[in-house]
Structure 1
C-alpha cells in the first residue's frame, strides 16, 4: 500500500533557515518535503492527509544532541545526599547502570522516546550505559525508538570502570551493533538509526581502551560520542594519567575527529578550545545538567568564538530540549555583562549546528524545512500574536514556541502524535509497566 501524502495547511511556518511563511503550507511525500509555499495550498487527491495548523507555528522538529535514555527509571529515586560530581556518578548513575536489565533498558528507552515525541524532539543522540546488561542492550534501545519512529543515533558508553571483562563486552556490543546498522542502511535508505562509538570520559579510559575505540571508529567510519571535562575530576585524573587535559589526550589519541561529539566541555581552557577546533569535532552544551550536578558553567561563548560548532543537549535531564535551549539563551549573559550575549550563538546551535551534525549522520537534510529535506515537522499549540518574519522568528521561538505544548509531531513523513494523541502506543500500560520495573530496580540499588 502506498504511503499517504500529508498536507499541512494554514501554518505560521518557521523554516529554520531564515525563511518564514506566515500563512504557509507544506506537502510531505515519501518521507521528504515535496513542496512548500504561502497562501493557497495545492489541491491534493484522496491519498492525502490534510492537517489544518489553524495558524499555529509549524517548525522543524528539535534535535537533542546528547541524552541518556536509560535514565528514565531513575525519576524520583531516593539516592541520598550527594555533594560532588564524583559522588553523583558513584552514588547514583554507576549504581543504576549496573542494576539495569534488558527489560529495564527497553522500557526506559520507550519512555524517553515518548517524551521526545511529546516535546517535539524528532532526533535524539543517545549515549547508553547498562553494565548489568551489556550484550543486546543497543538492540533493546533501537527496538524501543524504532517502534515509535524516532530518528536516533545510539552508542554504548565504553569504560574501564567495571573491569576488563565488562570493557571487552562493551566493545564487542558496539562492534556488533555498528555492523548490524551497516546492513540495515544498505537495504533501507529511510532507516532512522545511526551509531557511534560511545566512550565515558578520559578519567575511566585506559590507553588500550582508546586504541580499541579508535579501531572501531576506523572500521565503521563513525565518530566518538564522549564526555569531555564535564567535572574537574576528569581533568585531575587525566593529568595524573598522562599529564594532559582530557581534550588534549583525546585529540592526541585520534578520538576527537570531524565526526565526533565532545560532550560538556565545562573545564576546557583556551588551549583545549584550539585543539577541539583543530580536531574539527562538535561540542555539545548541556546547561541544565551542568548546573544540576554543580560541575560549573561551560565556556559556551568562548567555544563559539573559537570556531567550535556547539549544539545543545540535555544529558538525560529530559528528552525534550526546550528547557536547555531557554537556559542557554540566558545563562551566559551575566558573565558577559551583555543582555544580548548568546542570542545569536544559541540560535546557531539550534538552527545550524545540530541540523548540520545530524544531516551528516543521515546523509540528508535534517532539522530544516525546505524542499527535499527529511519531513521531521512539528505543529506547536501557539500562534504568533505579533508580526512574524525572517528577522524575528528566533524571538518567536524563544518567547513563544518554547513555552508552548507541541500539538503534532511528524517524523520521516509519518504522524507520530496528532492533537496531543500518541500513535502506536498505550501510554497507560507503559506507565504501569515502568512503575513495576522501577520498584524492583530501586530495590537492587538502594
Structure 2
C-alpha cells in the first residue's frame, strides 16, 4: 500500500479492459492502490491474493459493466453559464457572428473568481455524472486572466475530475490582454508540470484572431517550457480566408511556418483543411480533435475524419462544451459521417478508434501514465455501468453496446484518481444540490451584468 492508503477491491463485475490486449473478464476482480490499478483478473484469484491483507475494502459490483472512464479531449468549462442564455437582437447568421455576439461577449464579462469557479464546477459535475473522468479544457475569461486557471484547478479537484487546463491567447482584446493570457499559460504550465491530477497546455484561439508576432512569441515560450499547444483549427472559413489574406497557402501552413505545429499539440475541429494540410498535421505529430455535435450546432461543416485517420493523423474525440457527455458525442460521431458521405460502411472503425484508442494515447502521453485502459500500472479511472448485456459482449463489439444499448443514466459509479466520486448514481465529492443552487445565483448576477 502507498502512503497508508487502503486497497480497494472491485469484485463481481464484467470488465472490458480496452487497450492493445483488450479482454472481457466476467466475474472480475480489480485492485486499486491509491491512484493506480495494481491487479486485474478473476474475482476468486484477486480475493485469494489480496483479500486477507490489512486495510482492504471490497465492493461487489453485482455483475455491472466496468470500462475505463471516458476521456474528453476538448472541453470549454466556462460555457456552463451560457445554458439557456439568449442573444439580443436578430439571430447570428454566420459562425463568426456566433463568436462575436455570444462567446466573445461572454468571455469578456467573466471577471470574478466566483463566476469562474461555479461555471467550472457545473461542467465538472456534469462530466463526472456522465462517466467522464478526465478532460482537456480550453479556457477564456478576459475579464479575469491572472490566476484564472488556479480557480478552475480548484473546481476540478473539489469535484474529483482530472484535467488539463490552458488559457486562450488572442489579439482580439488588445495587447494588454494578450500579454496577460500568455503569462497565465506560462505561469500555470510551470506550476503544474508534474501535477498528477491537473496538468497544463499552452492555449491559443483560432488563427484569425492571432497576429504573426503573437504566434511566434507563443512558439518561443512553449519551446522553452517543453509544452504543447491546444488551439482551434479551421473551424470556420474565416480562419482559412484570414490566412490566405496574410499571404499563406492556408491556415495549417501558417501555423507550421510560425512554429505552432509541434508534436503532441491539439488542433481542434479541422473542418476546412485539405489533403496536403492533413498530411502536414500527420507529419508534425499533431492530434486533431473531432467535436461532431458542436460542428452541427454551429453549421460549420463536417471534417474529413475518415481521410485524416487514413493519412495517419491521430484523431481524438471531444465535446467542445456542447455537452459533457462523451457517450453522446460518440453516438453522433458514429452517424454523422455515414450521413455526410451517404455511406453506411463508415463510422464504426473511426469512432471506436477516436473514443478508445486516440483519446487514450493523447491523455496517456500528456499525463505520463496509461489512461483509457484497465491494466496493472494504469490510472485508476473507471466507470461502472448499470448494464447487463442482453447479447454477447466481446472486445470487438463494445462500441455497438455503447451506441445502441447504453445511456448516461446507466452511470452508477465513477472512480477518478482512485477516488469514488459517484456512488449509486449520486455525486459524493461535493453537495450537488447546494452547488447548483449557488451557481444559479451567480449566473443570475452574471446575466444581469450582460443585459
2:116 aligned with 1:105:
yes
Q: CA deviation at 1:39?
A: 4.8
SS in structure 2 at match of 1:391 = coil
Offset from partner CA, 1:377-433 (integer Å, 9 cap, x none): 110121111112223222222222345421100011111111112123111211111
Could you tell me how far apart the structure 2 residues matched to 1:343 and 1:317 are?
Answer: 22
Could you tell me how far apart the structure 1 residues matched to 2:156 and 2:337 are?
Answer: 34
Mapping 1:177-256, distance limit 5 Å? 177-182=188-193, 185=194, 191-256=196-261
Preserved CA contact (<8 Å) 2:169 2:203: yes
Could you tell me how far apart the structure 2 residues matched to 1:114 and 1:337 are?
Answer: 37
2:34 aligned with 1:26:
no
Preserved CA contact (<8 Å) 2:202 2:222: yes
- Match for residue 16 of structure 1? 18
The correspondence for 1:382, drawn from 372, 382, 387, is 387
Mapping 1:419-430, distance limit 5 Å? 419-430=424-435
Could you tell me how far apart the structure 2 residues matched to 1:337 and 1:420 are?
Answer: 39
SS in structure 1 at match of 2:370 = coil
Preserved CA contact (<8 Å) 1:12 1:384: no
Could you tell me how far apart the structure 1 residues matched to 2:106 and 2:56 are?
Answer: 46
- Match for residue 264 of structure 2? 259
Preserved CA contact (<8 Å) 1:20 1:393: no
Q: Which residues of structure 2 form unaligned runs of 5+? A: none
Mapping 1:284-323, distance limit 5 Å? 284-323=289-328
SS in structure 1 at match of 2:57 = strand
- Match for residue 93 of structure 1? 103
Could you tell me how far apart the structure 2 residues matched to 1:424 and 1:11 are?
Answer: 23
Query: Larger deviation: 307-316 or 45-54?
Result: 45-54
Preserved CA contact (<8 Å) 2:131 2:408: no
Offset from partner CA, 1:287-326 (integer Å, 9 cap, x none): 0000001111111111111111100001111222111111
Preserved CA contact (<8 Å) 2:302 2:340: no
2:405 aligned with 1:394:
no
Mapping 1:319-330, distance limit 5 Å? 319-330=324-335
Q: CA deviation at 1:337?
A: 3.5
- Match for residue 143 of structure 1? 154
Q: CA deviation at 1:279?
A: 1.1
Could you tell me how far apart the structure 2 residues matched to 1:291 and 1:390 are?
Answer: 31
SS in structure 2 at match of 1:332 = helix
Distance 1:423 1:46, change over 3 A: farther
Q: CA deviation at 1:32?
A: 1.1
Q: CA deviation at 1:205?
A: 0.5
Q: How many residues align?
A: 440
Could you tell me how far apart the structure 1 residues matched to 2:210 and 2:198 are?
Answer: 26
Q: Which residues of structure 1 form unaligned runs of 5+? A: none
- Match for residue 271 of structure 1? 276
2:157 aligned with 1:152:
no
TM-score normalised by structure 1 residue count: 0.96
Preserved CA contact (<8 Å) 1:142 1:193: yes
TM-score normalised by structure 2 residue count: 0.95
